[in-house]
Amino acid sequence: MVRTPLTPEERERGERLGRLLREARGARSMAEIAAEAGLSAETLRKIETGRAPTPAFFTVAALARVLALSLDDVAGLCTPVAV
């Protein structure tokens, strides 16, 4: 299966999500957050660095729960601003 290339907007949204998660994680380790969310630390690292800019909804929901973020806030903060 060939994956369609990401648009610049999708990449930007992934970068915003990564920044948001890093900021919300604070001093807590990547391994700790990933374990609580039921993910591998490698998956979280890819999301935080933008290498996985379109994670599954349930992955984002699990991370939001562990980091005490509302999904509304995540969606609002990760949506690129229209110019």
* Domain segments of the chain as ranges: 8-78
Task: Report yes or no on whether pTM surpasses 0.85.
Answer: yes
For 8-78, CATH gives: 1.10.260.40
Other beta carbons within 10 Å of 74: 20
Dump pLDDT digits (tens) for 21-44: 999 999 999 999 999 999 999 999
Q: How would residue 3 be classed by pLDDT, with cut points 50, 70 and 90? A: confident
Give the C-alpha distances (Å, rounded to integers) separating 83 from 16, 25, 36, 66, 80: 17, 30, 37, 33, 9
Report whether 18 contacts 49 (CB < 8 A).
yes
Dump pLDDT digits (tens) for 41-80: 999 999 999 888 889 999 999 999 999 999 999 999 888 7
Other beta carbons within 10 Å of 52: 18
